[in-house]
Structure 1
Amino acid sequence: MRIALSILIILIFSSCSKENKLLAPVKYKGKYGFINTKGNWIIEPKFDSVGIFYNGYADYYIKGKSGLINQDGEIIIPAKYSFIGNVESDLALVEIDENYNFSDLNDNLISDISFYDVGDFSENLVPVQFKDDGKWGYMDVTGKMKIDTLFDYADIFKNGNGLVEIGDLEFLIDTTGTIIDTVVSPGLRYKKYRVTGNADNGTLGKVSMNRDTIMPNKYSSFGYVQNDKFWFKQNGKFGLADNLGQILIQPIYDELSYFSDNGLARAKKNGKYGFINEKGKTVIDFRFEDVGGFKYGLAKAKNNSQWGFINKSGEFVIEPKFDRIGHQFRPTNAKFESMYEYERNY
């Protein structure tokens, strides 16, 4: 019984160390570390710089060299590389003398040679380019070349298919390197709207695919569509319009972001930052030196040259005492995560 209880306790503590924590990278008294949403140090500030957590690991820098830590702050790979990338398939991309290789989590390079360029791992294969002839092939997670360097370009695999180029032709190959299809250029993607005019002289406009005018040619910039709305810039000021071209918020802001998942957008007016809703109502007063967007109920905010985190009422829940906040809170086990959700193709 005691043995079973001891094993259970060990398993609990092991699982705690791998839990998906919400952490933010912050700079305090010249050094970087990570805090949780209560403002407590999870990883003490001892690094010259840090990145974000991805798949449970984050890059860090000391004296210009990069290494890898886990979510408990333990050094997995010492700081000895010019660059270290995200961990995929328990491997991290590393840069050595302007060439690339992959390191496992025991700090061992998986290939005897380094590459001129590489892509990302997908389906346990990664596209790699040799410097001598510029050709691309695919390497597996053990460092062995699985598909020979025959291609002028090679992309990642999706659903067992990889896109490659030979001369002016594109092909789909399977994971053995066998060509299974010739790719026909799909041409222009379907878009609901088209931008016309020139941004440099403030003559941008929007028309439908039937060439009906949505926005006349008098703007200098448009944002992506988000919930059938988008920001626009006119005469140096930002406002909000809908997909029919109706102006929802007049261009009165020096800056305007996309809307966070709590319905608030970061805005700047008269030199100060605050937050507005989609109707243009000020929800958090314009009193901050700078702010970031909301994520997981918190937004970074700056007052008196120091950074902290505020809630949706505009109150500091983590006092402004940091030199810098590198990124909003995000799960340590997450992969890529967008700050805002919007339509990139419209």
Structure 2
Amino acid sequence: MKRNLNKIFLLTLLAACFSVVSDRFPTALASDTHNTTHEAKPKPAEVPTHQNSNNQNNSALVPIQENEKYGYADRTGKIIIPPQFDEARKFSDGLGMVRIKNKYGYVAETGQIVIGLKFDDALEFNEGLAAVKIGNKWGYIDKTGKVVIPPQYDEAKHFSEGLGLVGLDGKTASHGHAANSQQPTRKYGYIDRNGKVVIPINLAHAFTFSEGLVQVIIDENPDIPNSGKYGYMDRTGKIVITPQFGCADPFSEGLARVSINNKNGYIDKTGEFVIPPQFDVAASFSGGLAEVRLGDKSGYIDKTGKFVENPHQQE
């Protein structure tokens, strides 16, 4: 049991903070203490599809690999779509994103290619739309393959709760003293399904909405690592929980994991602590429980902060 729980925690550590849209910075947990002055900030990374809502990824087919080609099998292992693709991702909204050479398209569960392999990059469908890259710009298509939001963004991610996360490059900014350290400053914002900007594209970082709120970072000094503080804003762009945390997760089951002084606790949607910051490592709630570690003890807590299993000593 101890070994299994420790393995679970290793997996939890990989996703314990949360996802951001940029690929410019390395990952770190709120519990990391490699920086004694500032709390560790999470790694901006692609929005994971496991956050998709409404069970849109409950396909009976899963990607498989055979002889360096990808196809799909059912959950008994029976091959349904023979391996023929150079890449295949799990089904979402009834379609699987596939790639042959450097072109992307979408396949139905019958194996029929229903949206031709013509895009330069693509993401899985979510909420009926998928971000695709045409040339060097991103836009969105519907499930018929029709472009519904023209390619105009330098970055685009999944729609979540009716809002799509997009990014645009601005003027170049200097980082450091090297002559070749100039790089574009990318800003993020949110659009609705019609392509209308709902939250202006002026955020330095952006996250996906969950339960009506999304993390926001303010007072970040680019010359001081991990100096930003995390709070939350609503779907209108209004900050409803003042940025004050060293790290913060999306809301899940009404609570969000946040950190202060490298200790993790849980707040409600008013920003009040329901479970005080005390844990060295903590994950989001799922099924009424959250996995935590406190010193050499680990286990699961309920929404009152009470351990529901006896904490286990680590080996």
- TM-score, scaled to structure 2: 0.50
Which of 178, 183, 193 is matched with 1:141 structurally?
193
Structure 1 regions of 5+ residues with no counterpart? 1-17, 195-206, 216-224, 228-241, 248-346
Tell me the secondary structure at the aligned position of residue 195 of structure 2. coil
- Give the whole-Å Cα distance in 2 for the aligned partners of 1:30 and 1:154: 35
- Give the whole-Å Cα distance in 2 for the aligned partners of 1:50 and 1:19: 14
* 1:67–1:173 Cα change, 3 Å: same
- Give the whole-Å Cα distance in 2 for the aligned partners of 1:63 and 1:117: 22
Which of 119, 133, 144 is matched with 1:106 structurally?
144
Residue aligning to 1:173? 233
Matches within 5 A, 1:43-192: 43-132=81-170, 134-168=186-220, 170-185=230-245, 186-187=259-260, 188=262, 189=264, 190=277
Matches within 5 A, 1:185-200: 185=245, 186-187=259-260, 188=262, 189=264, 190=277
Tell me the secondary structure at the aligned position of residue 54 of structure 1. coil
* 1:226–1:163 Cα change, 3 Å: closer
Q: CA deviation at 1:56?
A: 2.2
Q: CA deviation at 1:19?
A: 11
- Give the whole-Å Cα distance in 1 for the aligned partners of 2:111 and 2:299: 37
* 1:191–1:83 Cα change, 3 Å: farther
Q: CA deviation at 1:191?
A: 5.9
- Give the whole-Å Cα distance in 2 for the aligned partners of 1:154 and 1:103: 22
Q: CA deviation at 1:86?
A: 1.6
Matches within 5 A, 1:226-305: 243-245=312-314
Tell me the secondary structure at the aligned position of residue 121 of structure 1. strand
Q: CA deviation at 1:139?
A: 0.5
Which of 8, 22, 27 is matched with 2:60 structurally?
22
Contact 2:140 2:151 survives alignment (8 Å):
no
- Give the whole-Å Cα distance in 2 for the aligned partners of 1:184 and 1:30: 48
- Give the whole-Å Cα distance in 1 for the aligned partners of 2:240 and 2:294: 38
Q: CA deviation at 1:37?
A: 4.4
* 1:118–1:191 Cα change, 3 Å: farther
- Give the whole-Å Cα distance in 2 for the aligned partners of 1:160 and 1:48: 37
Contact 2:122 2:132 survives alignment (8 Å):
yes
- Give the whole-Å Cα distance in 1 for the aligned partners of 2:215 and 2:77: 45
Q: CA deviation at 1:22?
A: 2.9
- TM-score, scaled to structure 1: 0.46
* 1:28–1:136 Cα change, 3 Å: closer
Q: Whose strand fraction is larger, Structure 1's or Structure 2's?
A: 1
Q: CA RMSD in A?
A: 3.5
- Give the whole-Å Cα distance in 1 for the aligned partners of 2:124 and 2:194: 17
- Give the whole-Å Cα distance in 2 for the aligned partners of 1:76 and 1:112: 20
